Amino acid sequence: MEAVYLDHAATTPMVPEAVAALTEQLTRTGNASSLHGAGRAARRVVEESRERIAAALGAHPGEVVFTSGGTEADNLALKGLFWRARAADPRRTRVLASAVEHHAVLDPAQWLADHEGAQVEWLPVDERGRLRLDALADCLAQDPASVALVTVMAANNEVGTVQPVREVVALAHEHGIPVHVDAVQAAGHLGVDFAGWGVDALTVTAHKLGGPYGVGALLLRRELDATALLHGGGQERDVRSGTLDPPAIAAFAAALGVAEARRTAETARLEALRSRLVEQVARLVPDVRVNGDPDPAGRLPHIAHLSFPGCEGDSLLMLLDARQIACSTGSACSAGVPQASHVLLAMGRDEAEARSSLRFSLGHTSTEADVDRVLAEIGPAVERARAAGALSARRAVR
């Protein structure tokens, strides 16, 4: 029985083009900050990759700041922009963030509140997981001079709902407030356009695109400064110090190039697979609830987030894993933590429903056969999970 991998939203296998770019550069030596020939060759790899990444994301090459991945880029954006704003005007201590952000945004925002005197306001979402623009407008109108930044993800990593980024930018920029967007899950699936969206900072990472782990970028508008988290050689605009990784950066650029070149065709293919998966699961488990936006235009094409009443999501996940089907209960960064999904709770679901969900996320290796395997196994797995849940409930009553 072959393994089925349906957790591409956590990480996706490297594409051959990225593997080739990585391995080619791994045999070469040179620090991109060195002035000799080997250093200049490494620098050329970095800068050519920077140009390719910028072009794919609608940015200027000088706006691409390489990081170790999405978490570092999010931390740099939130902390760096907050510190910059507060230094310019001590009144600017408010941070506005949607309640469904990834923990790479939620946790640094909370850290700023706990350690730096930030006032973090969690903006509500509707039942589909989309930011309520009226709530954002109200928060901004209260005291715009006190807001340091607004942060909102381009698309949710759990339920796939696309956020109204352009509208958020328009509201915030009326008051001269910078906007950060976490586009980690969206890049390669949506047409990310840094300049067109008008955002001030944007996070991407390679391993969600078919590139390697450990490399990402913060796109930071040229006119905008951010206080550095890491101090040292000042390699990336004095915003991010550290020796650059030419092999990983080259692979990042290759993966993003492949994702963008294939995006239109791949979106249609993944949407068709997702639709079949959701429709047939609903036939097999009639009381299943599909989370997120039902309109394909309002969601990512590769994520199907389903709630199974009477099941514990963790139990269902392990039952499927025993049948060599890999999926997720939500964000991989909070996997194993026994708590309900903060995304579903923010969408108005109760705790039992928020704990009963699975995320199936498709990617470039996904096939019709993968969907068939899920459909063959999901019914029995749900029955066993419900039976286990009922037994536990009876024991608890005793």
Give Cα 340 to chain centroid, integer Å.
19
30 CB-near residues (< 8 Å, 6+ apart): 38, 39, 40, 41, 42, 43, 246
Give catalytic status of residue 311 as yes or no: no
Q: How far apart are CA 133 and CA 96, in angstroms?
A: 12
- Surface-to-core class of residue 133, CB atoms within 10 Å of its CB (0-12 exposed, 13-18 middle, 19+ buried): middle
> What angle, rounded to 10 degrees, do the helices at 368-397 and 313-322 form?
130
φ/ψ (deg, to 5) at 14: -65, 140
Structure tokens belonging to residue 367:
């096939």
Q: How far apart are CA 126 and CA 4, in angstroms?
A: 33
The active-site residue out of 139, 311, 327, 333 is: 333
Structure tokens belonging to residue 370:
């993968």
User: 7 near 332, Cβ under 8 Å?
Assistant: yes
Q: Residues with catalytic annotation? A: 333
